[in-house]
Amino acid sequence: MNQKIIIEGGRKLKGEVTISGAKNAALKLMAAALILDDTCEIYNVPELTDVSTMAKLLQTLGAKVDYDKNEKKITINSENIDNVEAHYDFVSKMRASFIVLGSLLGRFHEAKVALPGGCSIGERRIDLHIKGLESLGAQIKIEGGYVIAKAKKLTGAKIYLDRPSVGATENILLAAVLAEGSTVLSNAAQEPEIIDLANFLNAMGADISGAGTSEIIINGVRQKDLKPLSYTTIPDRIEAGTYISAIMATRGKAIIRNIFPNHLSAVISKVIEMGGKISVLDPFSIEVACNGKPNAVNIVTQPYPGFPTDLQSPFISALAVAEGVSIVTENLYENRFRQMGELTRMGADVQQESNKAIIKGVRSLTGAQLIAPDLRAGVALIIAGLCADGVSEITDIHHVDRGYEKIIEKFSALGANIKRVDSEDNNIDAMINNMDETIF
């Protein structure tokens, strides 16, 4: 049964919310577990459909995977991997699973991985992945929708990325762990999730330095140098930023716990520019407050440490009820404004011009029936519903479940009137299909 979210808007968010482990870090740590021919335990792993998809993929490769919901711990034993093919059914659902390419190639010197899928937010090329892996000695071809990679051996190399791609950085890093010699990766992505992956691999026995800077050095180690480990995933900065934008949109005041504030520097800067107040309560908690109508601001998405592309959609919802005109420039993905039409149906004054969204703040939004087009656009519509007058119904919420753990419970704890119910869309579709065609 399909489900939908129903929101009665107009309530200021207040209270506190605890942020889950970072989805975009946990998924990569799970893929990295394939390098180890033993067991690893990963804590602070969110209970999400994407995590379930990755776990099922690892199982098809021969890994033993167990998830403890109470401890938020996933245990992975990759000793008996007997398959190096990551099937289309899994990789097409979630782009992050493409990162098993580097792990499998590094350990087994061969891999067959389906071309990636995930949210349709724009072109996400794999040219840099291929370029980097070929520099390490792999022979790669694309055939039948799969990337097929083989190598007699992998050897360290100097690699320069034409752009700081997160995925390419991760795949190259994973493949280079067991390569002979040293790899110097320049113009690397600097995201906190890259640092987390490097720290995880180092805890396993890898020799990696420079993660979090534009140059990462990976000194190859031997398989026997790697060892079992327990590791805790970093907090999810995107989830934290989402709740920050919701607090701003509803003119609320709430505490956000289990975060690394320095991961949100660009976001916090924009919140202050919008008229919000940020108080650091302790090294892992902040209080966010917005006492009046937010100010309009301009946002430009950039690779970390710039403003995250994953947060421009939620912030557009807050800017839709801000004072003045805002311009959001999207520099990474051309289809990242997929919620704009739905916002217009709620009374927002928004338009897209090329890679820019122009948002003229209105007095208020009005609840409406909405469709979530992808993960981040879906949560943007939830935020719009929270600050709107009246009731909003949002369908296709499976997108949101990919990236937000217990989102209904967390918003409810902040005072939102929000619930998840079974959708009647199936009944409506059946009714339409059964109608007499002659009436048309």
Q: Is 405 helix (H, G, I), strand (E, B) or coil?
A: coil
Residue pair 372/400 in contact (Cβ under 8 Å)? The answer is yes
Residue pair 107/63 in contact (Cβ under 8 Å)? The answer is no
Distance CA 61, CA 83 (A): 5
| DSSP characters over 223-237 | GGG---EEEEPPB-H
Other C-beta atoms lying within 10 Å of the C-beta of residue 196: 23
Q: Is 5 helix (H, G, I), strand (E, B) or coil?
A: strand
Does the annotation mark 40 as catalytic?
Answer: no
- Residue 143 DSSP label: E
Q: Is 21 helix (H, G, I), strand (E, B) or coil?
A: strand
Q: Which one of the listed residues 40, 119, 290, 387 is annotated catalytic? A: 119
Distances (CA, A) of 322 to 253, 340, 348, 359: 17, 16, 11, 9
Residue with tokens 């199936």: 426
Q: Is 208 helix (H, G, I), strand (E, B) or coil?
A: strand
- Give burial (CB, 10 Å; 0-12/13-18/19+) of 19: buried
Other C-beta atoms lying within 10 Å of the C-beta of residue 141: 10
Residue pair 203/16 in contact (Cβ under 8 Å)? The answer is no
Task: Please give the sequence-ordered ranges of beta strands (E in DSSP) within 69-214, or none if there are none.
Answer: 73-77, 85-86, 110-114, 139-143, 146-150, 158-160, 182-186, 207-209
φ, ψ dihedrals at 101, nearest 5° = -55, -50
Which positions ≥6 away from 18 have C-beta within 8 Å?
A: 257, 258, 410
Q: Give the helix/strand (H/E) hosting 262.
A: none
Q: Give the helix/strand (H/E) hosting 47.
A: none
Distance CA 147, CA 129 (A): 11
- Residues classed as catalytic: 119
